[in-house]
Amino acid sequence: MTFGDIFKSGFLENVASVSIFDMVLALVLAFGLGMFIFLIYMKTCQSVMYSSGFGVTLLALTMITTLVILAVTSNVVLSLGMVGALSIVRFRTAIKEPLDIAFLFWAIAVGIVLAAGMIPLAVIGSVVIGVILLVFVNRKSHSNPYIVVLQCENHESEKAAEAFLEKAALRCSVKSKTARKGLIELNFEIRLKDDNTDFVNELSGMAGVQSAALVSYNGDYMG
């Protein structure tokens, strides 16, 4: 075979470049592992609103990647054209959760590995990744950060509420403060000593405290 023969390809010659059995097996495995990734995403979703569309996207992305890599590995000319075509694609959808990026790369990696014929690596690797995500993402800890939204009538009630929080929480710091006539609103970041949140009830019953709310968050604060 000469160098010129590598780049000679007819349409009919490409029809049998990938066998029907290989295509069916690769797509069935991609569907199965894509569903596994989908289920792990459902169990570990950290977003405020669960997006079923993103989960379906993970399933589709696994199968599409497998399809593309099968085509690329069967034809040198097609692989060069595919690289050029994909290089001009731009996606504008913003990724809101950092963990979503890991799921996207996971789906793409599984598709690539399956199409390359490394089935044990794709299956075992996906199981290990899924177990790790289930263990670490769903791990609940009272040391996770919380935000206490507090509304006080005056400076005295503000100081009393702050002193109460410093005793009730493992750590307490002011994140923001808004003051207007007759009302002071504060946002505290706290770390709980244990899972007990009854202190919020006591805090809301203090003199001069109009309301108290406890909100869990991921540690990123925009103030």
Query: What ranges do the domains of the chain cover?
Result: 15-137, 145-216
Kindly give the interhelix angle for 20-44 and 119-137, rounded to the nearest 10 degrees: 10
Which residue type, as a one-letter code, is found at position 199? F
Q: Give the model's pLDDT for residue 197.
A: 82
How many CB atoms are closer than 10 A to CB 170? 12
Q: Give the model's pLDDT for residue 84.
A: 57
Q: Give the model's pLDDT for residue 123.
A: 93
Q: Give the model's pLDDT for residue 47.
A: 64
Residue pLDDT tens, the chain, 223 long: 554 555 455 544 555 566 788 888 999 999 999 999 999 998 887 665 667 788 898 999 999 989 888 877 766 556 655 655 555 556 666 677 778 888 999 999 999 899 888 999 999 999 999 999 988 887 655 567 888 999 998 888 888 888 898 888 888 888 888 888 888 898 988 888 777 888 888 888 888 888 888 887 755 544 4
User: Radius of gyration over alpha carbons of the chain, in Å?
Assistant: 27
Query: Can you tell me the distance from the alpha carbon of 220 to that of 223, in angstroms, rounded to the nearest whole number?
Result: 10
CATH superfamily of 145-216: ACT domain (3.30.70.260)
Q: Are 33 and 110 in contact (CB under 8 A)?
A: yes
Q: Give the model's pLDDT for residue 223.
A: 43
Query: Can you tell me the distance from the alpha carbon of 109 to that of 203, in angstroms, rounded to the nearest whole number?
Result: 50
Helix (H, G, I), strand (E, B) or coil at 174: strand
Which residue type, as a one-letter code, is found at position 187? N
As beta bridge partners, residue 177 has 186
